[in-house]
Structure 1
Amino acid sequence: MTGAVAARFSRSLLPDGSQVIGCAEPLGEHPPTLAHSLRYWAEATPGAVLAAERDGDGWRELTYGEAAAGAASLGQALLDRGLGPAAPLMVLSGNSLNHLLLTLACYLTGVPVVPTSVAYSLRATDHARLRAISGLVRPSLVYAEDGGRFGAALAAVDAPAVVGDDLPRLLATVPTAAVERAFTALTPDTTAKILFTSGSTGMPKGVVNTHGMLSANQQMLRQIWPFLADRPPVLTDWLPWNHTFGANHNLHLALTNGGSLYVDDGSPRPGEFDRTVEALTSVPPTICVNVPAGYAQLAQRFTADPGLAARVLSRIDMILYAGADLPDELRARLREIARSATGRDVPVVSSWGSTETGPAATSTYGGADRGIGVPLPGTEIKLAPVAGRLEIRVRGASVTPGYLGAEFADAVDEDGFYRSGDAVRIADESGDPRRGVVFDGRIAEDFKLDSGTWVVSGRLRNRLLSGAGILSDAVLVGDNRSYVTAIAWTHPERVREIIGDSQDDDTVAAVLSHLAAVLTDLNQGMGASARVERLVVTTAPPDIDAGEVTDKGQLNRSAVLRRRAELVDLLYADEPDRTRIAVADRLQRVRKWNSEHSAKL
C-alpha cells in the first residue's frame, strides 16, 4: 500500500481487537437542508432540467424553476390539509414527476414523506405490510399516481387520499406566507423522510432520514468526486425512490449538484430491460448507476452491439455500482467495454451503505480501490470482531438518529457506531484496511452446524449460485444439523440456455443431474461448512405476504425456513421422497420428478 493512501486515512486499534478507520479530510460546509439546495439551483439555473419522465417517444421535463414553484404550491396545499412535522405524507406509487413534486413540497415545508414499495400495494394480496407501515406512520394524507390500480391499497391506508388526477388542481394553489414560515423553521434535524428497510432479515423498520444527514452525505460525495463541480451530473435511472440508493443517493446527487435525473421506467427484471436500454440510448448518462444484475445485462448488450456502448457511454464520467458485490470478471469487462467505447479509462466505482447511513458510508477513491472501499469524509468505520467475522459499523454526520416507533439503542455500540450487521474482510494482504474492505455477507444469515462450526452463508450461497448457473436464488439450511443443504429456485431462461426448451421428465432429470454435478464440483476438497450436500428445487415462488421475499427481491431466510419447514424435514430424511420433491445431491442419486412439478421448472 502506498504511503499516500495510508496518510489519507487514519487507523486506530481498540483493546477488543476492533479497528477504527477514518478519512483524514474533514467534512466541508454544505446546505443545512435539501430545500435550500432546491432554492439555490432554482435561482441559479431556473431553466435547467431537474428531472424528466417518459412521454411517448420523448420526455416530459421539469426544470428547477418549475420544481421550486410547484413545490411551493403543493406545500401550501399540504399545509392547508393539516400536514406538518408530525403529520406525514405517504406515497404508494413509484418514481414520477408528480411523486418528485410532492417530495419537494414536503422538503420545503417540513412534512416527512414516506415512500413505500409499489410491491406492497400491487403484488401483495392482503396488504399486511402496507397496513403495518401505515399504522406506524399514521399519515395524514396518502398519494398514488393511479387511483384505479392502487384502489385496494389506498383503501388499506387509514388516511385521506389524493391521486394523480388531483395534482393539477393542487398545483394551482397559491402559496402564502405559511410556506415561507415552514421553510424558515427547517433545521438539519428536521425529518425529511421515513424510509423503510427491505426486511431481508426481519420486519421492515422505519428509518428517520433528517435533512442534515442527507445533505451531509451529498457533501461527502462531492468531496470524493470533484468532477461534479465541472459539469452537473446526468443520471438515467430506474432505482426506486422507496429505497435509499435511488431516493437518497441518486435523486439527491442530481438535486444538490444542479444535475438532471431522467426516470427510467425499465429495470433489470425480465421483460423490462429493453426499456432501460431505450432510456440510456435516448439520454446517455454522465454517471451510470446500477446494481450488478443490471450491469451484467448491460455488458451482454454492449458486447453484442459496440455501437450501443459508444452511444450510451458517449459522455460518461463514472460507472457506479452498489447493492451487491460485482464479480471481478464483470468489473474488468465493464472497464474494457468503456475503454473501447470512449478511448479512455472510465472509473468503475463501488459504494456501500444502508438506509441508516444516508446511504453512502464507503467508496473506492483516493487510491483505495479494493472491494467497497474506505470511509467517506466525515465518516468513520469500525471493523468489529463478531462470531469470527468482521462487522462493519459506521459513525458520522450521515447516520440516522433512530427508528420510528422502535428502540435504536441496540443498533448502536458503546462507541456510538451504528451496527450494520454486514460482514467485511480486509482486502490488502498486509491486513491494513486502509486500502479497502470487501463485502462478505450478512452476519445474521450465518449459522452453526451441530459440530459448532460456523457456516458463512453468504459466501457459500454465492459459490453455489455462481457454479450452478441455472439457479435464480437459494437459501442454505443446516442450523444445528450435521451438514448443509439448500432450498433453491431455478431461472427459466438459464435452464433453457443450458438444458433446452423441453419440459418433459428427461429435461427435469437433466436439470437435477446438472445440479448434482455442480454439488460434486462445489464440495471437492471442502470441509463441512463449505459444502452443500443436498439441494431441493422448489417451484412455489417466495411469498411477499408471508415475508419470504422483500420488495427488492431479497429472500428472508428465517421466513423461508419457517414457511417451508416440511421441505427442510424432507431434505434431512434418510431417503427423501423424490416423488414429492426434486432433489439433487453430491452422490448424483437422481430420480425423475413428477409431471405436476416438472412442468413448472
Structure 2
Amino acid sequence: MATVITSRDPAQLFAAPQVRLSRREDGAILLSSPQPLQAYPRCVGADLEHWADNAPQRMFLAERGADGAWRELRYGQARQQVRCIAASLLRMGLPEGRPVAVLSDNGIEHALLMLACLHVGIPYAALSPAYSLMSRDHAKLRSLVSRLQPGLLYAASAQRYGAALAAIEGLHQAALVVADDGDVPVGAQPFSSLLAHEDEAAVDARHALVGPDTVAKILFTSGSIAEPKGVINTQRMLCASQQAKAQLWPFLADTPPVIVDWLPWNHTFGGNHNFNLVLRHGGTLYIDGGKPAPGLFDASIANLREIAPTLYFNVPRGFDMLVSALRTDAALRRNFFSRLQLMFYAGSALPQNLWEDLIALSIQETGQPVPMVTAWGSTETAPLATDCHYQAPRSGVIGLPAPGVELKLLPAGGKLEIRVRGPNVTPGYLDQPELTARAFDEEGYYRIGDAVRFADEGNPEAGLVFDGRVAEDFKLSSGTWVNVGAVRIKGIELLAPVAQDIVVTGHDGEQIGFLVFANLPACRALAGLPVDAPAAEALSHPVVRGKVRQGLQAMRQLGGGSSTYASRALLMSEPASVDAGEITDKGYINQSAVLVRRAQMVSALEQGGDGVIAIDG
C-alpha cells in the first residue's frame, strides 16, 4: 500500500520546540529538553521483530538488480533471513568480541548481515568502500583490519574487492565470505551459505542476552592526518537516539517513512540515523546506488523520477546537484515533491542560496514550502544530539537538545564550545583508553570540538546555530579571529556556481584566501565550452575567473573587516584525494587535510602566484 502523507505543516509534524536553560557562575550554560526521554527497546533487533510480527508483508528494503528492476525484501522475509544468518554466525564460533568486518556499499546482503550481528550481539564494523575501491595504496584499509582483527570478513564482490582482499592478506585470520556474484576464492564461502542454517533456540538465547551495554557497532571516523578512530556504538546509543527522534517527529507514527537514500552505512548519518529511522517506524528504504558525484548522480535522479520519498536526506553537495536537476526536469520535480513531508540536510552546513532554491522549488510545485530541517551530532553521539524540529528562518540552525541529551556551552576564544552528555554518547574508542580519557571532561561531557551560538539571545527556543569547529578557526596577523565555517559558507554562496567547495587559508597571515574545488560542469557551461573541455581551459576562462572575482568583491562589500572576506582565490582542477583524507564518503571536505597536502597552493595564494584571482585592497 502506498504511503499517504498526513501533513506538511511543521506544527503538525513536530513536537513543540522547548528547552531548559540554566547559567552557572563559571560561565557555563546548561541546556536540556524539558521532555524526558521515554522508554526505548533494549536492542535494535527488537524493532525488526516488532515489524515482522505486525507488518510482515510491508516492504522494508529495495535495491536495483542487475536487470535494473527493484529487488524487494519484506519485513517477514528480513527476519527469517536475519535469523538464519545469525544462526550461521553462532555456528561458526567466532572468537568472543571479534567483529564482523564488511567491505561493501549499501545493499540488501549488507543490511541482512548487519542486522544479524545486531540481533545476537556480535560487533559489526563496516569499512569505507573508498579504502578498498578508490585507494591506491590501501593503507587505511590495512591499518583498520590490523586493528580490528575481525572474526569474519565479508566482501560484496570477490572481483571488485579482489585488490583490497589481496592487500590485507596475512593481516587477519578471519573467515571470508563473499557475495554470490561469480567465482568464490579458495578458502572463502558464498553469502548464500549463511542462509542455509536455522537454529531458533540458539538465536533466541543469544538475542535475549543482548542489552543496552552490548557493543553494536565499531564505526570509524573519517580520519585525515591522524588515523581514523574506532568509535564504540552500543545498543543503548542507537535505541536512545531513535527514541528521541520518535518523540520529536511524532508524525512518523502515522506515516511510515519512505526514503531513497545513498548515504553510506559505514557513517553514522546513513547507518544510524537513516537506516534505523526506517526500521524503527516500519518504513521502506530504497537503496540508492547513486552518489553526489559527476557521472554517479544520474542514478539518483533516475530513482527519484520513479520513487516518491516522504522524507529526503542528503548532504549539501547532493542538494546542490539535485537543485540543478529539479529546475530543468518537470517530471522529476513533480514526483519528488508529490508526497514529500520534509527535506533534511546534514554532514556540513547548507549554503543559504541552496536553502532558498529548495524552498522556492517546493512552493512552485506544491503551493507551499516543504520544511527544510537538520540536526547535529557526530559518530560519537549516534548521531542525534540536537534536532531542529521546526522550520528555522534560515540555514545553519541546528535546533535544540534532544530528549535525554544534556549540553554544556563554555566560553572559548570568543565562541561557545559545546559539549554533550547522555545515553546516546559513546563509552569511548576501540583500544584507545588515553584518547577516550581525553575525549571527556571532568563532568563526563563529550568534547565534540564544535562551537555554537544562539539564533536569538532573547529567545532560547529559537535554537542554536552551528558556529564552526573550535580547532579550525585561526587568527590573522592583526590578531583578529576568522570564523572559518561562516566564511566558507558565505564564499560558496557568493562564488556559485563556480565553487563546489572551499578551503579557507590565511593562518597568521594578513588576509584570507580560498582554495576552491571547482564545479567543472558548471564552469564549462558558464564559459560556453563543450562538456568534455579540459579542466584547465574551463578554469582559466575569463568568464569563470570574472565570476570568482565578482564573488570576492561581493563578500568584501558586505562589510565586517578583513576577517570576514577572502581577498584572493585559487581554482583547483585536481579533485579531493581519498588516500590523503581530503574527502569523505559523504562528499564533504576535510579542511585540515587539504591545507597540509596542498601547502604549495596555500603558499601560492599568499604570494599571489600564477593563477591566483585577487581583488584590490
Which piece of structure 1 moves more, 146-155 or 471-480?
Answer: 471-480
CA distance in 1, matches of 2:449, 2:122: 31
Q: Which residue of 2 aligns with 1:35?
A: 45
Deviation, structure 1 residue 345 = 5.2
- Alignment counterpart, residue 73 of structure 1, candidates 75, 84, 94: 84
CA distance in 2, matches of 1:199, 1:552: 13
- Alignment counterpart, residue 27 of structure 2, candidates 3, 17, 41: 17
Q: Which residue of 2 aligns with 1:322?
A: 346
CA distance in 1, matches of 2:454, 2:378: 20
Q: Which residue of 2 aligns with 1:446?
A: 473
- Alignment counterpart, residue 466 of structure 1, candidates 487, 490, 493: 493
Instruction: Report 1:188-207 matches (<5 A).
Output: 188-199=212-223, 202-207=226-231
TM-score, length-scaled by structure 1? 0.90
Q: Which letter maps to 1:395?
A: R
Q: Which residue of 1 aligns with 2:186?
A: none
Deviation, structure 1 residue 329 = 4.3
Which piece of structure 1 moves more, 246-255 or 430-439?
Answer: 430-439
Which piece of structure 1 moves more, 141-150 or 370-379?
Answer: 370-379
Change (3 A) 1:35 1:431: same
Q: Which residue of 1 aligns with 2:134?
A: 123
CA distance in 1, matches of 2:96, 2:307: 37
1:489 partnered with 2:501: no
Q: Which residue of 2 aligns with 1:508?
A: 540
Deviation, structure 1 residue 363 = 1.5
Structure 1: state its 5+ residue gaps. Answer: 589-601
CA distance in 2, matches of 1:491, 1:327: 15
Q: Which letter maps to 2:556?
A: N
Deviation, structure 1 residue 32 = 0.5
Tell me, yes or no, if the aligned pair for 2:258 and 2:278 is still in contact at 8 Å.
yes
CA distance in 2, matches of 1:396, 1:221: 14
1:213 partnered with 2:245: no
- Alignment counterpart, residue 400 of structure 1, candidates 397, 419, 426: 426
1:456 partnered with 2:483: yes
CA distance in 1, matches of 2:329, 2:208: 52
Name the SS of the counterpart of 2:22 in structure 1.
Answer: strand
Q: Which letter maps to 2:373?
A: V
CA distance in 2, matches of 1:459, 1:105: 43
CA distance in 1, matches of 2:514, 2:390: 41
Deviation, structure 1 residue 494 = 1.8
Deviations 1:399-452 (A, max 9, x none): 111111222222222332222212222111x44433111122222211122332
Deviation, structure 1 residue 75 = 1.1
Q: Which residue of 2 aligns with 1:434?
A: 461
Q: Which residue of 1 aligns with 2:184?
A: none
CA distance in 1, matches of 2:321, 2:588: 19
1:519 partnered with 2:549: no
Tell me, yes or no, if the aligned pair for 1:11 and 1:434 is still in contact at 8 Å.
no
Q: Which residue of 1 aligns with 2:185?
A: none
Change (3 A) 1:282 1:23: same
Q: Which residue of 2 aligns with 1:163?
A: 178
CA distance in 1, matches of 2:233, 2:95: 16
Tell me, yes or no, if the aligned pair for 1:6 and 1:434 is still in contact at 8 Å.
no
Change (3 A) 1:7 1:341: closer
Which piece of structure 1 moves more, 157-166 or 184-193?
Answer: 157-166
Tell me, yes or no, if the aligned pair for 1:89 and 1:140 is still in contact at 8 Å.
yes
Tell me, yes or no, if the aligned pair for 1:52 and 1:261 is still in contact at 8 Å.
yes
Deviation, structure 1 residue 176 = 5.2
1:409 partnered with 2:440: no
Which piece of structure 1 moves more, 316-325 or 8-17?
Answer: 316-325
Tell me, yes or no, if the aligned pair for 2:583 and 2:589 is still in contact at 8 Å.
yes
Q: Which letter maps to 2:325?
A: R
Tell me, yes or no, if the aligned pair for 1:85 and 1:110 is still in contact at 8 Å.
no
Q: Which residue of 1 aligns with 2:400?
A: 374
CA distance in 1, matches of 2:306, 2:74: 18
Name the SS of the counterpart of 1:102 in structure 2.
Answer: helix
Tell me, yes or no, if the aligned pair for 2:215 and 2:232 is still in contact at 8 Å.
yes
Q: Which letter maps to 1:254?
A: V
Deviation, structure 1 residue 53 = 0.8
Tell me, yes or no, if the aligned pair for 2:407 and 2:421 is still in contact at 8 Å.
yes
1:62 partnered with 2:77: no
CA distance in 2, matches of 1:296, 1:330: 7
Q: Which residue of 1 aligns with 2:365?
A: 341
CA distance in 2, matches of 1:405, 1:54: 38
Q: Which residue of 2 aligns with 1:357?
A: 381
Instruction: Report 1:67-106 matches (<5 A).
Output: 67-83=78-94, 85-106=96-117
Aligned-CA RMSD value: 2.6
Which piece of structure 1 moves more, 503-512 or 319-328?
Answer: 503-512
Which piece of structure 1 moves more, 492-501 or 288-297?
Answer: 288-297
Name the SS of the counterpart of 1:8 in structure 2.
Answer: coil
Name the SS of the counterpart of 2:566 in structure 1.
Answer: coil
CA distance in 1, matches of 2:455, 2:590: 28
CA distance in 2, matches of 1:142, 1:272: 27
Q: Which residue of 2 aligns with 1:572?
A: 606
Deviation, structure 1 residue 332 = 4.1
Which piece of structure 1 moves more, 375-384 or 101-110?
Answer: 375-384
Change (3 A) 1:45 1:471: same
Change (3 A) 1:546 1:507: closer
Q: Which residue of 2 aligns with 1:178?
A: 202
CA distance in 1, matches of 2:54, 2:16: 39
Q: Which residue of 1 aligns with 2:122?
A: 111
CA distance in 1, matches of 2:421, 2:16: 20
Which piece of structure 1 moves more, 159-168 or 516-525?
Answer: 516-525
Tell me, yes or no, if the aligned pair for 1:142 and 1:161 is still in contact at 8 Å.
yes
1:50 partnered with 2:44: no
Deviations 1:531-552 (A, max 9, x none): 3233333333333223333333
CA distance in 2, matches of 1:542, 1:227: 39
CA distance in 2, matches of 1:459, 1:73: 50
CA distance in 2, matches of 1:71, 1:7: 38
Instruction: Report 1:270-285 matches (<5 A).
Output: 270-285=294-309
Tell me, yes or no, if the aligned pair for 2:292 and 2:587 is still in contact at 8 Å.
no
Tell me, yes or no, if the aligned pair for 1:89 and 1:142 is still in contact at 8 Å.
yes
CA distance in 2, matches of 1:441, 1:335: 24
Q: Which residue of 2 aligns with 1:298?
A: 322
Deviation, structure 1 residue 69 = 1.3
Deviation, structure 1 residue 348 = 2.4
Deviations 1:283-303 (A, max 9, x none): 212222222332333333333
CA distance in 1, matches of 2:224, 2:247: 32
Q: Which letter maps to 1:586?
A: I
Q: Which letter maps to 1:127?
A: H
Q: Which letter maps to 1:446?
A: D
Structure 2: state its 5+ residue gaps. Answer: 1-14, 181-189
Q: Which residue of 1 aligns with 2:564?
A: 530
Change (3 A) 1:518 1:330: closer
Name the SS of the counterpart of 1:203 in structure 2.
Answer: coil
Which piece of structure 1 moves more, 174-183 or 233-242?
Answer: 174-183
Q: Which letter maps to 1:179?
A: V
1:477 partnered with 2:511: no
Which piece of structure 1 moves more, 266-275 or 121-130?
Answer: 266-275
CA distance in 1, matches of 2:251, 2:39: 18
TM-score, length-scaled by structure 2? 0.88
Q: Which residue of 2 aligns with 1:595?
A: none
Tell me, yes or no, if the aligned pair for 2:219 and 2:268 is still in contact at 8 Å.
yes
Deviation, structure 1 residue 506 = 9.7
Change (3 A) 1:244 1:85: farther
1:587 partnered with 2:616: yes
Name the SS of the counterpart of 1:310 in structure 2.
Answer: helix
